[in-house]
Structure 1
Amino acid sequence: MKGNHHRHAALSILLCLGMISAPIQAEDIEVFFTKKANSVAPNVLFVLDSSGSMESKENNNTRMEILKNSLHEVLKPQEKYKKLNVGIMNFNGNRSGGIDFPITDINSDAHDVDVDIPANTDVGSVIDHISQSYSASGETPMGDALYFASSYFLGTHVFNTGWRGKPNAWDTSSNSYRGGSQYADNPAAYTGSIDSTTVAEIRTRACSPSNPRPIRHCSSEYDNCTTEIHNISARPKLYRINTYSCDSSGLECKWRYPRYKNIDADYPGDASCSNRPSTPQDGDTWVQCRAAREASSYTYERCEEEYTHYETTDGPTATYKSPITHQCQSNHVILLTDGEPTRRDTLYHIASRVRPITGSDRYQDCKALNTLSNLSNNILTYGRCLPELVEYMATMDQAPDLEEKQIISTYTIGFQLANNPGAQDFLKLLADKGQGNYFDADSPDDLVNVFKRIINEVTGNNVSFSAPSLSVDQNNSLATSKYLYRSVFTPSDKPAWSGDIVKTRMGQDTDGNPTFTEEITFASTLVDSQRKIYTYTGTNDDLTDASNALATSNDKLTTKLLAVNTDNRDSLIQWARGLDVKDENNDGYTTDQREHMGDPLHTTPALVNYTTSPRRQVLYVPTNDGLLHAFDISGDTPAEIFAFIPPELLPNLKKLYANSNTDTKVYGLDGNMTIWRSNDGKTYLYIGMRRGGNNYYALDISDPEKPRMLWTIKGGAEDFAELGQTWSTPQLTNVMVGSIKTKALIFGGGYDTDQDDKTKTSPRTTDDTGRAIFIVNAETGEKIWSAGYNSSDFDYDLGLSNSIPSDVRIIDLDGNSLADRIYVGDMGGRIWRIDLDQDNISDSSGYLLADFNDGTETGNRRFYYPPSVALDRQHRLMIAIGSGYRAKPTETMTEDRFYVFEDPNTLYKPATPASSAIIEDDLGDITDILTLTSNKPGWYLRLDKGEKVLAENIIFNGKIMFTSYQPQFETGNSICNLSGNTPRAYLLALADGRPLADLDNTAGLDRNMTLNSVEFIPGSPYIVFSGGGNNGGNSNNDGGDNGGGNNGGDNTPPSSGSDSDSDFAEFFAGEDPIGRDSGLSGRLSWQNR
């Protein structure tokens, strides 16, 4: 696909994931379950172009064939859409067709909709069959189609004026609807009746083509059989119901012929048409009676035929049955076309319907098209009022009888429209006004991906919490390449969640707007039955040794280690290797691959560029099924090199295999990774478990074909007894151990799950674990130094009383590659400063720098993410941090903040720390003013009710960027409860918090913007560099003096930028651009990225 263009209008899709009963989640995934518990499946109506241009060929297939094949791929049962209602209609010829199949649960039995369809036929298959019966012909009545779709959702009158025709009837022999009018609605789509009259007529036909040509065989389709004998041998698909049609059965078009015939004397051949039956027969069974040679020199043939014709008009009560049956239900139109509208007979009806938008019934007052230039006459004529129509659908209540406001979003797909920018702009406008998204698709794969992406978006699949991993330009290490890698997942009410990695290409459209084009997903490549999957059984550090293989042949994989009985051992191992032993895709096979990857819920993939010849890029991806995947992404298609599951996570496989909805979410390797590439050519990977457990693991991945186990830190034991859930990403740096410069990892003491307790919205309380900061040897995992809550169990008594799940921020002020200082927040709303002794780490000390928890329920703030630290232009050391309750994102009692303040002791360790910590009252409140004017050592911003900062912030070139999440609740007795989310991105001046840009395109400066590309909790902003700006790379190379950063970057004092105009950095959150800086050569903060 060419890319999707996210509109600046707020995306008002309510993602509904199904009416379920799930365990209470005291975790950030409650944002999915709060919605799911009070919602129903979304409605999706496919509105598909089948005009004559769809017969254009792309390579060996017509566009129509590509569309059919793509829908078949999207609708196949193996996709297993759990909560989705779908319907379908097409448009071509002189008038759009009606609803070919009403919006229905995709997994339900179509027999319940139409009794002629055999029982146990799923709706998805029926819609697939319907699409396969479409043929391309005629014009493009796009406006009529959208009007009929709007009427259907509204539940209004079935449009007629003599064009309805007898509906199709289900033909069991072909598994499709046959025999009626292409314009007729499926009777299941409306209530009431359509009046009908059966009439027998005799008509005379004369066939005398000017250019006779060889006769082709009769078709059993709707087309006319030949030019020479017109409308006799084929089953007609009739256009005007008051002209002629089939008999009342809809399946037998019977004809009586000939009454008489006149054959010119020069007509060659004998016994012409002697094989015609003299009694009525099915049109499909009559075979053409003349040979091809007989068609070369005749004058004419005339015959009379007797046929039964079926005339219809609307009954007095024929009205659509609206598919909008529940409040909070989301509704969507997916409009696909390969061109521009060329016909429309419903202009006046549309103009009347959109009166709430235009203010009148006059189509001349539809002026949205005036905002575009270079439009064709077709669009200006037949596209008029269509932007207003989709805007009406997206903004006005479409089901007034239900509580709340029900709306319909419109997604548009331009199929092979690269050479028609006017049509593209028109479809973008429809998506914009319809509060959906526009997508380009040029190839069959594009079209499949676009359909799936839209469905995933409206059903809530493929959500992302994390910022993407950006690859470095192989020809310029100071620039970002055009690719990024996003981790996505599909929420579920069961323990096992599916996930994926999406390779996305960044680019620009013709207007210079950024585009993100999904090129390939990784889970679909896991099809090799010979996958290399390892664990660690404790006997050999070489993970490729047979003793570590996750294989049925490995006797080291005992039933005790796997927590299963002997009968289930082999099937569990085969399933864990990806074998579909439970036939989860319902294809009848249990020896094929599942094409499944666990969910990378909170993780960002790590990219390592190996300098072997040729160069090799490997992407490391941890998931909650416990597997750490290594993918070779050097080529166009990712290839898994190996996967590793720690032995402590093997017992989880049993619960994942059972996947019962009575169990809670299973977590495995859910933490972020740190990569260290040492001077001696070694490459190490470090990872925590987050909610998966209390351990840290280190792997030697110097040769990705031969990974080795380096070490394991086990929380809750010995030196790490205080270590809680390992949320804190280890930060790589250098410290002095005695007189030896040592590569070390620094991390927080972890998360105390007591913080999940709902009562934690009460005033601050003391935690039981995680109250520590650890420094360990990066090569051995041995503890070097620790700070905690007493001097007997820790090397330094910092006075900690709350857990530290946050990453730590390390800085090197003098550029000597030794860590000078640590800043970190805790779950009690405090900020701690630790000064690391440069002569001997054992002499390090620290103190409480700031406390932003005022001891009240509303002031019980928590810091889950590290502060950003930067020298400003006055050489002050500024610290920026936001608060937010990550475990309870829908909680609204706490009044959260974003703080920026100065460390008064910028360059040196104070001889005596200040007697009191910095508090909120010491800072300036800029919430209601544009800029800080008072002489304060910093500022803070009050966030809206329930709004939280749930990701790391970034400081760059005097600017600060961060994202926030705010739950939105309806008032009153709404069953919707959580009606949506407001994800935002902020761009502010570091010095005083003033707004810097017009973020919403309203000709004014804004502090924040709503993120249209994010539906739930946004990840951290990220920076894309072009040309020069230093992005710090994606792995940490020693270079003799490199330190800090989980994905690389130095710890030297950051520079203030250059004067070059050729280099620039673009700032993003999700896929929304939030700013740009030019003339950059370095960064302005110590950022772990």
Structure 2
Amino acid sequence: MNNKLLGKFALKPLLCGIFGFGFTFSTCVSAEPLTLSNVPLQATGKVEPNLMILMDSSGSMAYYLDSAERAVDPKDSRLYIAKEAGKTVVRGLGDLRVGLAQFNGEDGAKILLGLRSISEDGARDALLTEIDNISADGYTPLAEALTDVGYYFVEGFTGADDKVTIHPGEVDSAKVSAGAVLGATSNPGPVYAEGVAKPTRDNPAIQEYCQANFVMALTDGLPNRDSAYTDYLRSYDPDTDSNDADALDDVAKALYDIDWRPELDDPNDDGHKNNITSYFIGFADPALANNSLLESAGLNGGGSYQFADNADSLATSLNDAVNSISNSVGTQASVAFNSTSLDIGSVIYSAKFDTSDFSGRLYARSLNPDTGRIANTLWEASEELADESSSTREIITYLNGNGVPFTADSAGVDADSPDSPHEDDLNVNKSTGLDDGAWTGRLNYVRGDTTNDGVGDYRQRGNFSALVDNMTGPKLLGDIVHSTPIYVGKPELNWPVTFGGNNANESYEQYRIDNADRTPMVYVGANDGMLHGFNANTGEEVFAYIPALLLNSGRHEGLHSFTDSTYQHSYFVDLTPTVSDVYIDSDGNGSDEWATVLVGGLRGGGRGYFALNVSGAGKSDASGTVTQGHQFDESNADTVAMWEFDGATDADYLGYSYSEAQIAKLNNGKWAVIFGNGYNSDNGVAGLFIVYIEEGADGSWDAGDWEFISTGVGAVGERKNGLSSPRLIDLNGDRIVDRVYAGDLMGNVWSFDLSDQDGNVSGGNDSATWDRYGGVPLFTAGNTGESNNAILSAPLVARNTSMAPAGNGANVLVMFGTGQYLNTGDLTGSSPGAFYAVWDNDYTLTNGAVTGDDLAEQVLKPVGTNRTIDENSSVAVDWGVHQGWKMALDDGSGFGSGYAAERVITSPTIRRNTLFFSTISPNPQPCASSGSGYLMSLDFRTGRAGNDAVADFNNDGEINAQDEGYVGKQFQACTEDCGEGGGSGGDPGMPGQSGFIGDVRCTPGSSGDVICDDIDVGDEEREGRLSWEEFSPR
């Protein structure tokens, strides 16, 4: 049976039975789809901070905002304004456990809602309802209420034996029971509303040692009827008065100063304390504007004090406090540079995401040309976007085979369109699952219109805080998780002259000349549903593209869900884009011309890819000033949007588009996009898609517009298969793809021959001859189908310089790591992944797939936080015997308690003879960082340390003989010369894929920091191409 599928009318084989060479795949029983996480994995299972909101419910809250008269219309009252501002903030909360309290007449506090995760079903709605139910009556016992809220936090731990240390570190330090400090009456603690349970020892308010605890108190006046607190609190701050009216700052200081749960120890920090931080917001009464008591309370309480005299400033003050409290950032994307060599003007581009409000950040930072460390922030894209009007943004989408503006008018996706999936999607009310006709409001929300934020069913997006961010405005850029930013400047590839037209004006060199001053751009996908294009000089958004591929009218899916108040994170445009210059008929005029094409995908957001013509970026002078406008206007939408591909008649083979696409010219003379079929395809078979760039521009996909090469290997047991990102190589130096290498979820590495059936790289102009080289995998890991053998990233391919080529064999080493990191189940487990270097020399033609038994084993040996190779347990590579080398990773125990098995989920990199790759070991424990990992560096030919030191392994600031013999360094915080954005000494988490500029390696950590360090790979020169990290020649 021919497992090769070509075009629209190809015969699809029935994937049942037995395949040759002993491989089996599933019977006709449908395999279970792989669970794919909808949230960043390092953000799951972590401890949420506690926030108790204390609302002023005194009688004066019924007054007008600017007078001491009772409001006739309750909607004109201070309380109504405070409620509306508070509800707006609550609608935007994320990653917090939130409770609600109010003043209890003249006696302390009443707990209206206990602490509960805001993301739990019904929690947000319950909080909004209770805020609405608060009425204005009574006094302002602010210090008593703050004391009672403190008591709530330690409820269940107030007995005589529950000692805390007051005035820690001071001469009057003493151990006293928590109940004695906080309980001033015979019935201490707050009053609880009906149905609200007190915290207990088994279900406490403070649950983990790493849990931050906050109180946010709103008041329209100074304390009164405020005297029921203990002598311990009354004069806790010796620098302030000790009378009853002035005890608020004493209470705040005690809550912040004392470790209220000393039995919750941080094993890594003897000085850690489980304290409570207080934020105060004064409202309405001008006498509170510069009040020393409230300012002192904010300072003593570890938080802050702000005054608000109107509704807008109140909302801003509340937002500032919440932004200070809730800040959960991270990254999984790599970094990009604007050049390959380190010099003046070198810039690094990196992204972060914030899970508290699902917002993203994209930074451009200069690099110090002397040290290679991050210097200053040049711009941050979401801050620039906050100033942009939704009506002036250039946002493009795809409809009925054409690019159109993402607008609700006749030129866009209006209701009169004969078939508008945009309208179908955006009409859905996520809460009911029914069409409500509000699609234009949701469309405008997606464009960045904040008019409806927090209103009705609309989600309240985050806002920048003057206190935290030194600016205000909405956070419109969605979270950037897996999409690495791509810098695109002037054309500077090295395509041969034969790739252009027949005269000089059609040559690639002329294209380079014509676009030498093209405005540089940075492209990145975000989970606001857009592929964004930013001006690399300024950070301003030039245009954005919303793929129609992600539209879905299902109740909990599609773009409408992003606008909904019940939104839980989803991936939309999460794949790293690919950009290359190609010679095609890009405008449909019948003539080929050079164009710059971007191909993006959805990754976990859906199934499919899209292509954009990004040639028209305008012109800029040397200073970055734009001298000629870009051509990315909505009026040019159909020129920019080339096509979208959803698998067409091979849709059953296309899974979620986790595979990063590659662009290249093929032996049949066509330019193509090449990608693995991804995960969870309907039939669960791994295979390679080849989509011809020019063919989809007419808005339809016909037979011969694409190819699909099936591996023939589908599900193993109940686990579906899928092909990951490919690596393309050119074996004869003509800049045309001859082989494609890619791994699958079952642990197989495949070599696809795009030349001809005899391996003759000068042939292959007939795509019917393209197939799996040798008909079997190049490599198969042991226990095929187990998650620790999954291959998620593109392999690295380099010439085997230790051996001379023979026959038609590729004579390359294919290098890759294994291990899965796709769902919460991957956060645990002790079956480690491995790293392999497999020699492709036609071995499979007579021997079948290479297995681990054919490889020389290299055994890692820990030395402190570094690694060497254990010479006594390892086997040196003998190319007459071995087909490469292998290296098992750690089962997690080497990192410490709670760490999961080590694995490799990003692509390796090579610099001269040094192989670089990152490993990760997740740690799902609540108080742990997301995990740890190693930065590996070794000789790719041997799997061992090279002759000379590569990095500063002993952290003495130099790379010298003391650093020789090491192959790995645990990913650690920057401790000196970090530069802005380079960390502050905290745990950087798990390392992502490193980027290299000159002799500097920059590695993003899952914490959001980017750590840069020096490397030394020597200066040995190589003739010809050593490796294929990306196919486009540079």
Does TM, scored on the shorter chain, surpass 0.5?
yes
Partner of 2:574: 670
SS for the counterpart of 2:482 is coil
2:996 to 1023, 1032, 1041: 1023
State the AA in 2 paired with 1:788.
S
- The answer to whether the aligner puts 1:840 opposite 2:840 as a matched pair is no
* Partner in structure 2 of residue 654 of structure 1: 560
Kindly state the Cα deviation for residue 987 of structure 1 after the two structures are TM-superposed. Answer: 2.0
Which whole-Å deviations, capped at 9, do the CAs of 1:824-851 have from their partners, x for residues lacking one? Answer: 1111111112232132242234133544
Q: How does 1:311-710 map to 2 (within 5 A)?
A: 322=258, 325=261, 395-396=269-270, 398=272, 461-472=328-339, 481-491=345-355, 497-507=358-368, 517=377, 519-522=379-382, 524-526=384-386, 527-530=388-391, 531-538=393-400, 540-541=402-403, 547=410, 549=412, 559-560=423-424, 562-564=426-428, 565=435, 567-584=437-454, 594-610=474-490, 612=515, 615-635=518-538, 637-646=539-548, 648-649=550-551, 651=553, 652-660=558-566, 665-678=569-582, 680-703=593-616, 704-705=632-633, 706-707=636-637, 708=639
Q: Find the aligned partners of 2:906 and 2:678 in 1 and give their Cα distance.
A: 17
Equivalent-residue separation in structure 2 for 1:1079 and 1:1085 (angstroms): 17
* 1:787 matched residue in structure 2: 709
Give the aligned partner of residue 986 of structure 1: 936
CA shift in 2, pair 1:122/1:239, >3 Å: closer
Return the letter of the residue paired with 1:1022: G
Conservation of the 8 A alpha-carbon contact between 1:986 and 1:1008: yes
CA distance in 2, matches of 1:196, 1:821: 78
Q: Distance in 1 between matches of 2:38 and 2:664?
A: 31
Q: Which stretches in structure 2 are left out of the alignment for 5+ residues? A: 1-33, 53-87, 99-114, 119-126, 150-165, 182-216, 278-318, 429-434, 464-472, 491-513, 584-592, 617-631, 697-703, 756-761, 804-810, 862-868, 892-900, 957-961, 974-982
3-state SS of paired residue (1:718): helix
1:644, distance to aligned residue in structure 2 (A): 3.1
Partners of 1:318 and 1:543 in 2: CA distance: 58
Report the equivalent of 1:926. Answer: 859
Structure label with greater radius of gyration? 1
Letter in 2 for 1:923: A
Q: TM-score, normalised by structure 1?
A: 0.53
SS in 1 for 2:443: helix
State the SS of the aligned residue for 2:783.
coil
Q: Following the alignment from structure 1 to structure 2, what is the Cα–Cα distance between the partners of residues 195 and 831?
A: 71
Deviation at 1:1020, TM superposition (A): 1.0
- The more displaced of 480-489 and 551-560 is 551-560
Residue type of the partner of 2:543?
I
**Secondary structure of the residue that 1:949 maps to in structure 2?**
coil
Mapping 1:1073-1088, distance limit 5 Å: 1073-1077=1012-1016, 1084-1088=1026-1030
User: Partner residue of 2:831?
Assistant: 895
Over residues 309-368 of structure 1, what are the superposed CA-to-partner deviations in whole Å (9 max), with x where a residue is unaligned?
Answer: xxx999xx99977365598899xxxxxxxxxxxxxxxxxxxxxxxxxxxxxxxxxxxxxx
Cα deviation for residue 717 of structure 1 reads 3.7
What is the deviation of 1:603?
0.9
Structure 1 CA distance for aligned equivalents of residues 171 and 686 of structure 2: 59
Aligned residue number for residue 971 of structure 2: 1010
Query: 1:990 and 1:913, CA in 2 relative to 1: closer, same or farther beyond 3 A?
Result: same
Aligned-pair CA distance for 1:627 = 1.6
Kindly state the Cα deviation for residue 553 of structure 1 after the two structures are TM-superposed.
9.8
Determine the C-alpha separation between the residues in 2 that align with 1:323 and 1:585.
Answer: 40
For the residues of structure 2 that align with 1:770 and 1:248, how far apart are their CA atoms? Answer: 74
Contact 2:454 2:565 (C-alpha < 8 Å) held by counterparts? no
- The alignment partner of 1:951 has SS state of coil
Aligned AA (1:602): H
Counterpart CA distance in 1 for 2:927 and 2:968 is: 28
Distance 2:145 2:245 in 1: 24
Q: CA contact under 8 A between 1:953 and 1:963: conserved in structure 2? A: yes
How many residue pairs align between the two structures?
Answer: 690
Query: Given that residues 1021 and 1068 in structure 1 are in contact (C-alpha distance below 8 angstroms), is that contact kept between their aligned partners in structure 2?
Result: yes
C-alpha deviation, 1:1023, in angstroms: 0.6
Q: For residue 41 of structure 2, what is the amino acid of its counterpart?
A: V
Tell me the TM-score normalised to structure 2 length. 0.56
CA distance in 2 between counterparts of 1:990 and 1:149 reads: 61
How far the C-alpha of 1:729 sits from its partner, in A, is 1.8
Residue 681 to residue 747, structure 1, CA distance change in 2 (3 Å): same
SS class of match (2:448): coil
The answer on whether the counterparts of 1:897 and 1:940 sit within 8 Å (CA) in structure 2 is: no
Structure-1 separation of matches of 2:35 and 2:533: 31
Give the CA RMSD over aligned residues: 5.7
Offset of 1:455 from its aligned partner?
A: 9.8
Map of 1:358 onto structure 2:
none
What's the offset of the Cα at 1:630? Answer: 2.0
Letter in 2 for 1:581: T
The answer for the alignment partner of 2:676 in structure 1 is: 748
Query: Whole-Å Cα distance in 2 between the matches of residues 173 and 693 of structure 1?
Result: 44
User: Closer, same or farther in 2 for the Cα pair 1:516/1:803, shift >3 Å?
Assistant: farther
Deviation at 1:1086, TM superposition (A): 1.0
Distance 1:196 1:891 in 2: 48
Q: Match for 1:669: what amino acid?
A: V
Query: One-letter code of the match for 1:464?
Result: T
* Cα separation, partners in 2 of 1:886 and 1:624, compared to 1, 3 Å: same
* Counterpart secondary structure, 1:692: coil
Q: 2:792 aligns with which of 864, 868, 879?
A: 864
* Cα separation, 1, equivalents of 2:324 and 2:993: 20
How far apart, CA to CA, are the structure 2 residues paired with 1:313 and 1:120?
9
Hey, what's the Cα distance between the residues in 2 that align with 1:698 and 1:121? 63
SS at the partner of 1:570? helix
Whether 2:684 is the aligned partner of 1:769: answer yes
1:723–1:770 Cα contact (<8 Å) kept:
no
State the 1:32 CA deviation: 4.3
1:400-445 CA-partner distances (Å, limit 9, x unpaired): xxxxxx7999xxxxxxxxxxxxxxxxxxxxxxxxxxxxxxxxxxxx
Name the CA shift for 1:604/1:911 in 2 (closer, same or farther; >3 Å): closer
Equivalent residue number for residue 888 of structure 2: 942
Identity of matched residues, %: 20
How far off is 1:467 after superposition? 0.2
Alignment of 1:873-912 (within 5 A): 873-875=801-803, 877-888=812-823, 890-893=826-829, 895-905=831-841, 912=845
**Cα distance in 2, alignment partners of residues 784 and 753 from structure 1:** 17
Asked if structure 1 preserves the Cα contact closer than 8 Å seen for 2:334 and 2:995, the reply is yes
Superposition deviation, residue 81 in structure 1:
5.6
Query: Aligned equivalents of 1:605 and 1:787: distance in 2?
Result: 30
CA distance in 2, matches of 1:655, 1:802: 28
Aligned residues of 1:196 and 1:313 also touching (Cα < 8 A): yes
Distance 1:461 1:122 in 2: 29
1:686 and 1:730 in contact (8 A); partners too: yes
Task: Name the structure 2 match of 1:723.
Answer: 654
CA distance in 2 between counterparts of 1:118 and 1:640 reads: 53
* Residue number in structure 2 paired with 1:291: none
Q: 2:789 aligns to what SS in structure 1?
A: coil
Q: Does 1:31 align with 2:41?
A: yes
* Contact in 1 for aligned 2:729/2:737 (Cα 8 Å): yes
Aligned to 1:207: none
For structure 1, the residue ranges without an aligned partner over 5 or more in a row are 1-23, 44-75, 87-103, 127-143, 160-171, 180-185, 198-237, 252-311, 331-392, 400-405, 410-451, 755-767, 794-800, 971-975, 1026-1063
AA matched with 1:507: N
Query: Partner of 1:403 in structure 2?
Result: none
* 1:806 has 2:731 as partner: no
Matched-pair contact (CA < 8 Å) for 1:543–1:709: no
Partner of 2:955: 1001
- Deviations 1:61-102 (CA, angstroms, capped at 9, x unpaired): xxxxxxxxxxxxxxx96995645699xxxxxxxxxxxxxxxx
